[in-house]
Amino acid sequence: MNFHHSSGQRHEPEINLVPLIDVMLVIIIFLMMTTTFNKTAGLEISLPTANPDGSKTPVVTAEIIVAVTSTGSIIINGRSVSGSNVDAIAAALANARPAKGPEPVVIINADAQAAHQHVINVMQASQRAGLPRVSFATRQERQR
């Protein structure tokens, strides 16, 4: 028995891509369905809003004023904090918290030249001290 073609023509094998595409689509759908999205824990920040018309009066709440200088010094309600680590700032914030009344807002007055890490330390310390309401003080630029 001779199984060879007598015409002498060679046929190239064809690669069928349809099953490969089907398998790839099934893998993509499987990965999309099994992927989980993690929500990372973060600090809740209430950003300050401007009131240009002045028609509404601001609500008076308890405030803890935190100043961050360009050298990294932390001053809470006019008193300097002895350390710049998160634990020392958290202890000072807990001491500055009023015993009664509404939950205070921590207002951070950071110098424009202050290191970003010092501001983050204040935010972490505020969270550790149980003060989740944080706001940043800014000043309006003068118009020319």
Domain definitions of the chain by residue range: 63-136
This prediction has a pTM of 0.56
Whether domain 63-136 has CATH 3.65.10.10: no
**The sheet that has 63-68: what strands, in order across it?**
79-80, 74-76, 63-68, 105-110, 134-136
DSSP 24: H
**Average pLDDT over every residue of 46-68:** 64
Note the pLDDT tens digit of each residue in 71-89.
888 989 888 888 888 999 9
